Amino acid sequence: MRVICASNRSPSHMNRQYSILVVDQAAESLRMLGNALGADGHAVMEARSGQEALQLLKRRVPDGVLLDACIPGMDGFALCREIRSMSPWSQVPVLFMTDSPDTEQVLKGFASGGVDYVPKPVRLPEVLARLATHLRNAQAIRLAREAVDLAGLGVVVLDAQGQVVWHSPRAERWLTQAFEQDQASSWLVQAWQQGRAVLRLADGRQLQAQYMGDCGQAEPMLLLSLADSANASWLEQVALTPREAEVLSWLNKGKTNRDIADILGMSHRTVSKHLEHIFEKLGVETRTAAAALASQLLKA
């Protein structure tokens, strides 16, 4: 187990230094990857077994992991599942390295939580390029989630089995108030499968969950909102689609049509069409009126 400091050379693929954990039982492979990643501007941590990797993870959470599937003791698949099960590490992208072309092994890597794999013997330019892509994607997801936290939105992300893998602080507060421990999952899964779910609370308000699509590794994302009975009943009648709700949410934050198009990855014309439908459903004629009404209804 060792840690390699980054060189002074500017990274070829990224503008910032990342920390990478490399797990491989072969000393020569560790040395080659460590030198290449260090030369590319990264800080590198090295481990030759799953237990060594876990010790390093407890000391520092890396930005990415390069993991040999065949390591002594705990194999790479078990280690990846362990990483995915722990909240401080669960969003770190894991790239498998395997010398087996067996499709079953590749699928096993994805099933255990890996985001990609590279064949061994590794081709360094390919490893650096693939790693760069996944690190950028993971950083974008982290920034988006931080923005959600700052905006105070109630957002929940599930895994493929319907378990909560992340939630914003506001969503955590609402779910804690509405459910006993570990009782929220079935309701969230219902919202995911049916597109929407509503729970009437003891104080007369209604907690609503709306499926907004998938993010990350095909992870369902749900938008929560809390409204009093009158507003909840009115929202049910309005029946915005998930995409219209997204557009209205960004409109409420003061974003222009062009901003919304860039954020949601759609054309300017599509945003305009969504806004036409939103105005019609809300019974308003201007952006200002729609934003004011959305602000009133989403306030909780």
pLDDT over 90 at 225, yes or no: no
Q: Name the residue with higher pLDDT: 65 or 147.
A: 65
Task: Give the model's confidence band at 112: pLDDT under 50 very low, under 70 low, under 90 confident, else very high.
Answer: very high
**Mean pLDDT, to the nearest integer, of 146-169?**
77
Task: Give the model's confidence band at 300: pLDDT under 50 very low, under 70 low, under 90 confident, else very high.
Answer: very low
**Mean pLDDT, to the nearest integer, of 227-250?**
66
User: Are 292 and 251 a contacting pair, CB within 8 Å?
Assistant: no
Summarised one tens digit per residue, pLDDT across range 41-77 is 999 999 999 999 999 999 999 999 999 999 988 999 9
What domains are defined for the chain? 2-143 (3.40.50.2300), 152-298 (1.10.10.10)
Query: What's the pLDDT at 4?
Result: 57
User: Are 68 and 29 a contacting pair, CB within 8 Å?
Assistant: yes
Q: Rounded to an integer, what distance in angstroms lies between the CA atom of residue 221 and that of residue 218?
A: 9
User: Are 243 and 274 a contacting pair, CB within 8 Å?
Assistant: yes
In whole numbers, what is the pLDDT of the chain averaged over residues? 83
Query: What's the pLDDT at 30?
Result: 94
Query: What's the pLDDT at 97?
Result: 94
User: Are 43 and 77 a contacting pair, CB within 8 Å?
Assistant: no
